[in-house]
Structure 1
Amino acid sequence: MRLPVTPYGSARAAFRRRLPVHPGAVLLAGVAALRAGAGVLQLAAAESTAATLSIQVPEALVVGLPETGDGAVAGRPGDPLDGLVADADVVAVGPGLTDIDATGELLRGVLDVAPKQTALVVGALSHAPDLLVDSGRPVVLTPNLTEATHLLGRDPGDDLDAEAAELARRYDAVVSLYGHIAAPDGRCWREESGDAGLGTSGSGHVRAGLLAGLLSRGAEPAQAACWAAFAHAVSGQRLAPRFGRIGFLARRLLDEIPHTLATV
């Protein structure tokens, strides 16, 4: 199993034109994928951060990509990213990207070379909202509320089940909107055990990587999204007795993932 190529960035920052680089996001997502059972991890990040990431995640092949003057991944890096994507079983784009102008181009480049059967975890579709419609690809979208606003063209309402279902129909993909999961065929699920602590910075990156890891093990997109939401929530529950409901850090979730999955 080869998993996943993950350009980095800040999901919350995706709609601002210029922001500092955030290599911690790709570290959290990549390690979460390994913790969920991914066999081979490949990380692609801006050249200026690749060496640091390779030290922080020695289990991964880390490749540096051309970057903009602000340190964001360039829009269409080409080689070596193309080769990694073409051989990957799952590709995670994000979590988040720092340059709004380059994000759509990057996603188009990934789609140009990724085989049709390659599963995609996408958190940056709001930059190119119609790109995956009718693509026939196995895709899971993982928007936050800001990204959901852009995808819906309005502010999400209080019924996130309905909003996830609308996004799934509109973009022909499984949608994981926090604990609200929907498939394009109308099936819906909800994970209700998540607590306030999962709102901590970086938690969404962990969930995206966890999802990619489960896809790499052969789970279908809807199944992987449901299991990722469950494992993410229960990992947070396991931390609460030690750190409090809102006192743990996203990196602490990583060590809980294997035990959570093993005890199901």
Structure 2
Amino acid sequence: MSSPAEVVTPALLKNWQVNRDAADKSDRGTVLVVGGARFSPGAAMLAGRAALRVGAGRLTLAVAESAAVAVAVAVPESGAVGLPEDDGVISGERAAKALAVALESADVVVIGPGLDDAEQAAELLRGIGPLLNGSAAVVLDAFALGVLPGLPEVYERWAGRLVLTPNKNEAARLLDADPEADLEMEQAAGDIAARYQAVVALHGLIAAPDGRRWEIPAGNPGLGTSGSGDVLAGAVGGFLARQASPEQAACWGTYLHSTAGDRLSAAQGPLSFLAGELLEAMPRVMAELTV
């Protein structure tokens, strides 16, 4: 039987400090964000900046080649890799080959923000699977989640080092359920974790494959805005880069994301804040928890 959900408190997070005193960027890990089709490069940028905001040491953004130069200028703290594309859609198989060198050195790979084609996303995951080094953690979001049920050879390879950050509709797809179904979120999170042997962050609930559960006592409807999920995925990736375990990274990232959203909601109105503003609010929350 699954254990009851543990409430994530500041005290719990303070006990989970991760290489806080690392003096060199190489000690805080390298994050590779793979996404950003021609018409949605901002999603990858939000995820990458979130990873840096929570303390990752190095960042590479892999986006459509037509957007790569602009992305590199817009996020000067990152490196940029241009991915082959067809009419703005990232070409999955060719893109995976173009990522071979970056995948060898990545500590964390966040895949999905800004991808916009299911078939090519599946090809990308298939191609990345055998190229990714054996110790790197993986965060999947957006289109990379929607195609996962048909890729057991991919998620079985990443068992134990995989974090999934679905929304309600993506959770339904991961369970082969009706997207219009009224899912019970805690049950759904646990079922997804068990099926994919992954840590799952779903609507403020975190589930591990072994049945452990955590609940974030924060969050509001304003977080359901464009780009918000990209920020969450990037934040989780940033904590993984700092050598947090998958469940710790999911709890840290979700707590910061939800609490920052609550503060922005109180200051600016429940539906008025932007996902990019979470990037400014999250570090202040993290500073209060770092001792």
TM-score in terms of structure 2 length = 0.83
1:19-168 to structure 2, matched below 5 A, reads: 21-69=39-87, 71-76=88-93, 77-123=95-141, 124-129=144-149, 130=152, 131-133=154-156, 135-155=158-178, 156-168=181-193
Q: Report sequence identity in percent.
A: 44
Q: Distance in 1 between matches of 2:33 and 2:218?
A: 30
Q: Deviations along 1:176-227, whole A, 9 cap, x unmatched?
A: 1121110100011111310111111111110000110011111000111011
Query: Paired residue for 1:191?
Result: 216
Contact 2:48 2:61 in 1 (8 A): yes
Q: Which runs of 5+ in 1 are unaligned?
A: 10-19
Confirm whether residue 210 of structure 1 aligns to residue 230 of structure 2: no
Q: Distance in 1 between matches of 2:72 and 2:173?
A: 34
**SS at structure 2 position matched to 1:4:** strand
Q: Which amino acid aligns with 1:80?
A: A
Q: Distance in 1 between matches of 2:232 and 2:188?
A: 19
- Return the offset for 1:50: 0.7
Q: Deviations along 1:108-148, whole A, 9 cap, x unmatched?
A: 11111112210000121331322313644400011122221
Q: Deviations along 1:140-189, whole A, 9 cap, x unmatched?
A: 01112222121111135342000000000111111111211101000111
Q: Distance in 2 between matches of 1:133 and 1:166?
A: 16
Q: Which amino acid aligns with 1:25?
A: A
Q: Distance in 2 between matches of 1:136 and 1:234?
A: 29
Query: Paired residue for 1:7?
Result: 35
Q: Which runs of 5+ in 2 are unaligned?
A: 1-28
TM-score in terms of structure 1 length = 0.91
Matched residue pairs, number?
253
Q: Distance in 1 between matches of 2:96 and 2:177?
A: 34
- Return the offset for 1:81: 1.0
Name the CA shift for 1:125/1:247 in 2 (closer, same or farther; >3 Å).
closer
Q: Distance in 2 between matches of 1:31 and 1:56?
A: 11
Q: Deviations along 1:82-127, whole A, 9 cap, x unmatched?
A: 1111110000001252111111110111111112210000121331
Contact 2:64 2:83 in 1 (8 A): yes
Q: Distance in 2 between matches of 1:112 and 1:40?
A: 23
Q: Distance in 2 between matches of 1:57 and 1:127?
A: 29
**SS at structure 2 position matched to 1:185:** coil
Q: Which amino acid aligns with 1:74?
A: S
Name the CA shift for 1:125/1:201 in 2 (closer, same or farther; >3 Å).
closer
Q: Distance in 1 between matches of 2:45 and 2:146?
A: 23
Query: Paired residue for 2:19?
Result: none
Name the CA shift for 1:240/1:119 in 2 (closer, same or farther; >3 Å).
same
